[in-house]
Structure 1
Amino acid sequence: MSAQRPTVGQPPSPQLSDAKRRRSLFFVGLAVAAVCFALALQVGLCDNFVVSELNLTGFHKGILEAVRESCGIVSLGILALLAGVAEPLLGAAMLVLLAVGLGSYAFVPDFPWLLITSVIWSQGLHVWMPLPDSMTLSLAEPGRTGFRLGQMRSAGAAGFGLGIGAALGLTLLGVPMRPIFLVAGAVGLLAAAVCFGIPRDLKTPGPRLVFRRRYGLYYLLNFLDGWRRQIFLCFAGFLLVREYGTRLEVILLLLGTVQVVGYFSMPWVGRLIDRLGERRILVFYFSVVALIFIGYASIRNRYVLYVLFVSDNCFSALAAALTVYVGRIAPPSEHTPTLGMGVAVNHVSAVLMPLLGGLLWKHLGYQWTFLAGVAAALVSIAVAFRVPSHGSEGGGP
């Protein structure tokens, strides 16, 4: 799943009444929560599903994730082609794709069909992802943009947490995995319907990307973080299931633990970045990542690996320092397009890494997949040391 997302929007709409503004923001938040609920079911079940139902190997998992992540690059072109379309209508159409793809997991008989259904829901998701921020920017009251964006993040976190809880509850009740994907599809359709409660005069501008040499350090760090992110998203949970036979209930409990820890730690993480600066945080972050990946490659105790799984999820919040760095080096007019280019660069590594990781898993063993992550983390540490210290300016090469 992709990391940070560019916000593409338009100035707030002062002509909206306060009541209509609040009602519209409520529907945006409800759609965000429903989407995250559906995604939680997919994330929670996926690794156990592909191993127990389809008997996929690490090589297959790498191909699956590379194909799915390529939708993130394609989404930039789709948003450009559909510039000017009402955002709620575009969002509803994309969420129908999401719902169809997720629900179709209940019927996939083999790997090729899994690829097809994954592309369907992933393409819908990747086009949808920038739209909630865009609509929120357009609907937020003057001076309350950050507050409203924070509300949307909270809605997403609540939806994801409820989804993990629902998946765990249904699993403990003995419901098989395939019907749970139908629940995910149904909730995705609910999210699509909710979009019709949002004013249709919110238009989709084409995304702008900015490539400037002075932001080269940011692009490089995004590429390397995409490398790390995909090793974790693609292979960490898969390792626990494939090599250690971790049950679905345990995976869901681990993901639930991550949600709880993340909920209480995110404000603290933000304050820490403000206090220590991006360079120190990024050097620490990538150092921890290197140690975690060494642990995945060398430790054979499943309970220690469970701790690493939760730790990796939680420490990834420190990657927010990259967004803070952009806010420091780029003028406000270039924040969104610079973040957009960062997402594009991130997706390049998100496509390449699963392919390489799957090949390493197949021919050399899973340890080498994670050792490739160690190498990327060490390079990231060296690059992070070049980030200007807090309070100074500069953008790298």
Structure 2
Amino acid sequence: MFFILIAAVGLGNGLSDGVYSNYFKEVYQVTAVQRGLIEFPRELPGVLCAFMIGMLGFLGDLRVSFIAQILAILGVAMLGLFTPSFGVMLIFLFINSMGMHLFMPLQDAIGMSLAEPDQIGRRMGQYFSIRAAFNLIAALLVFFGFRTGFFTFHTSIKWIFLVAASALICAAVMTVAMIRKVKPQKAVRRKTKLILRKQYRYFYLLTILHGVQKQIAFVYGTWVIVDLLLKKADTLALLTIVVGFISIFFLNMLGEWMDRFGIKRMMYIDALTFIGIYIIYGFVVWGITSEALPSQGLSVWIVYLLFVLDRLSMQIGMVKSIYLRSIAWNNDEITSTLSMGISLDHVVSILAAIAGGYVWSQWGSQWVFFMAAAFSLGNLYVAYRVQPDKEKAVAEKMRLEVQKVEI
């Protein structure tokens, strides 16, 4: 049932989140600066995530997941049924984003709780692979829908958002089925304060760095294609299809690599791929904007390749959650720490989006990517500093002490 839940969420998010950049451009004609500012109401729910989890956490992860689906449905359905003013659109976008962000730490926590202790990497790879497969299906629907004219942003009703809402309704129904089957007990209300353990410092640093990298990958990497290359939703859908198809296999391999090579080596791979991709991205964009490279032909294909590689490299980020689980002092801290990590991620995301829009318009679009490459040096520092085996041993010792106290 969890596989079905992940699949439905992947389909719903792929049909909504995957086309927002084109929606903003075609319906509201936003500029690069405005595109960065839109990220404030869109990413603010991520900042509030830890506090929402803290307030609702006593209900249990599955019940909070149901609330998350309802919020996501409400927001995207309103965008589908109406073409509101820009300000009202931001309110519905906020509601949809609140549901999406609320589910983020929960899906990792629920997934890891269902996984066998010695196969967490493999199971997480399977969960992510299922989601990628349905993101691929969503991309196919987007491509053929826009190519045939069934989906369009130039009508009063945006059918693509209503189809997305339908998929999320399936996710909500499946969540209810899981609640009835598992019958989770209500837990003690979680504290919303930040768990300041020295043990978690590298996890929090990785989430902060991820906030910058995510904005570059999902906002400005996309904006290069939409604004500089002037491509439509069907082009982005084709690229998403490629990413989704590769991800089905890549994520399964990634999960196996996590178990085989360990956390530290995968962190090195994560860091080096980000640094390399963003440096190349910056030089290619610089070449196109300065007309040293043509805005068509080989240059475009290089941008497409970088887009795909960037999306794939983002998926290596699952190592953060696996790292956290291995060093957590008790299982009750995992969900709250993941949600706090998402809040830190999104504080940085908002700042990075606004700063990125300013840098894009004032200094040049290439500097957005050079800035991301510089921040990714932080990933390399974390990979060098972490000692997963020693940290895991400390965590296991603390768990035993906690159990003794409880007994």
Structure 1 counterpart of 2:309, from 301, 308, 311: 311
Post-superposition Cα deviations, 1:175-200, rounded to whole Å, max 9, x if no partner, equal: 21422122212332333344333335
Tell me if 1:58 matches 2:32. Answer: yes
Aligned to 1:39: 13
Local SS of the residue matching 1:199:
helix
What is the deviation of 1:137? Answer: 7.1
Distance in 2 (CA, whole Å) between partners of 1:142 and 1:302 is 44
Q: Which amino acid aligns with 1:272?
A: W
Alignment of 1:238-249 (within 5 A): 238-249=223-234
Deviation of the 1:164 alpha carbon: 1.7
Corresponding position of 1:3? none
Residue identity in the other structure for 2:350: V
Distance 1:391 1:195 in 2: 35
Structure number with higher helix proportion: 2
Q: Residue 242 and residue 110 in structure 1: after superposition, are their counterparts in 2 closer, same or farther (change >3 A)?
A: farther
My pick for the range that moved more, 337-346 or 242-251, is: 337-346
Instruction: Answer yes or no: is the 8 Å Cα contact 1:287–1:381 preserved in 2.
Output: yes
Distance in 1 separating the partners of 2:261 and 2:127 = 27
Equivalent-residue separation in structure 2 for 1:343 and 1:239 (angstroms): 26
Residues 115-172 of structure 1: CA deviation (Å, up to 9, x unaligned): 111101011222233445566678x599899587666545433332222222222122
The amino acid across from 2:372 in the alignment is G
The aligned amino acid for 1:315 is: S
The CA distance in 1 between the partners of 2:328 and 2:208, in whole Å, is 18
For residues 176-187 of structure 1, what are the structure 2 equivalents within 5 Å? 176-177=152-153, 178-187=158-167
Q: 1:80 to 1:331 in 2, by over 3 A?
A: closer
SS of residue in 2 equivalent to 1:82 = helix
Looking at structure 1, the residues matched to 257 and 111 of structure 2 have their Cα atoms a distance apart, in angstroms, of: 27
Gaps of 5+ in 1: 1-25
Q: Distance in 2 between matches of 1:100 and 1:264?
A: 33
CA shift, 1:311, in A, is 0.5
Indicate conservation of the 8 Å contact 1:294/1:371, yes or no: yes
TM-score by length of 2: 0.79
Once the two structures are superposed, the pairs formed by residues 152-191 of structure 1 within 5 Å of their partners are 152-175=127-150, 176-177=152-153, 178-191=158-171
What RMSD, in angstroms, separates the aligned Cα atoms of the two structures? Answer: 3.1
| C-alpha contact 2:45 2:94 (8 A) present in aligned 1 | yes
CA contact (8 A) 1:135 1:202 kept: no
CA distance in 1, matches of 2:110, 2:262: 31
Counterparts of 1:94 and 1:314, CA distance in 2: 26
Query: Does the CA contact (< 8 Å) of 2:6 and 2:127 recur in 1?
Result: yes
| Superimposed CA distance per residue, residues 304-324 of structure 1 (whole angstroms, 9 cap, x where no aligned partner) | 000000011112222233334
1:198 aligns to 2:197 (yes or no) = no
Q: What is the aligned-residue identity percentage?
A: 27
- 1:102/1:121 contact within 8 Å kept: yes
* AA partner of residue 306 (structure 1): Y
Query: Which residue of 1 is the match for residue 263 of structure 2?
Result: 278
Deviation at 1:348, TM superposition (A): 2.5
Unpaired runs of 5+ residues, structure 2, are 289-298, 394-407
Residue 199 of structure 1 aligns with an amino acid whose one-letter code is I
Range moving further from structure 2, 186-195 or 286-295? 186-195
Report the residue type matching 1:33 in the other structure: A
1:55-94 Cα deviation digits (max 9, x unpaired): 1112112122232122022132223222433765544443
Instruction: Report matched runs for 1:260-271 at 5 Å.
Output: 260-271=245-256
More deviation, 87-96/265-274: 87-96
Q: 1:99 to 1:213 in 2, by over 3 A?
A: same
> Structure 1 pair 203/153, CA: closer, same or farther in 2 (3 Å)?
farther
**Partners in 2 of 1:96 and 1:54 — Cα distance?**
26
Q: How does 1:313-328 map to 2 (within 5 A)?
A: 313-328=311-326
1:290·1:377 contact (CA, 8 Å) conserved in 2? Answer: yes
Query: Using a 3 Å threshold, how does the CA distance of structure 1 residues 345 and 92 change in structure 2: closer, same or farther?
Result: closer
Q: 1:29 to 1:203 in 2, by over 3 A?
A: farther
Flag the 1:88–1:374 CA change in 2: closer, same or farther, 3 A.
closer
- What is the letter of the counterpart of residue 202 of structure 1? P
Cα gap change, 1:204 to 1:173, in 2 (>3 Å): farther
Describe the SS at the equivalent of 1:84: helix
Please name the residue that 1:82 is paired with: 56
Contact 2:47 2:343 in 1 (8 A): yes
Q: Which residue of 2 aligns with 1:6?
A: none
Contact 2:76 2:165 in 1 (8 A): yes
Go from structure 1 to structure 2 and tell me whether the alpha carbon gap of 1:296 and 1:152 turns closer, same or farther (over 3 Å shift). closer
CA distance in 1, matches of 2:5, 2:346: 25
Is 1:344 the counterpart of 2:324? The answer is no
Q: In the superposition, relative to structure 1, how do residues 285 and 297 fare at CA in structure 2: closer, same or farther (>3 Å)?
A: same
How far apart in 1 are the matches of 2:116 and 2:376?
A: 41
33-42 or 363-372, larger mean C-alpha shift: 363-372
**CA positional deviation for 1:258:** 0.8
What amino acid is aligned across from residue 384 of structure 2 in structure 1?
Answer: F
TM-score, structure 1 as length reference: 0.81
CA-CA distance at 1:220 after TM superposition: 1.6
Change (3 A) 1:288 1:372: same
Tell me the matched-pair count.
367
AA in 1 matched with 2:95: I
1:234-282 Cα deviation digits (max 9, x unpaired): 2111221111012322211111111111111223223434444434432
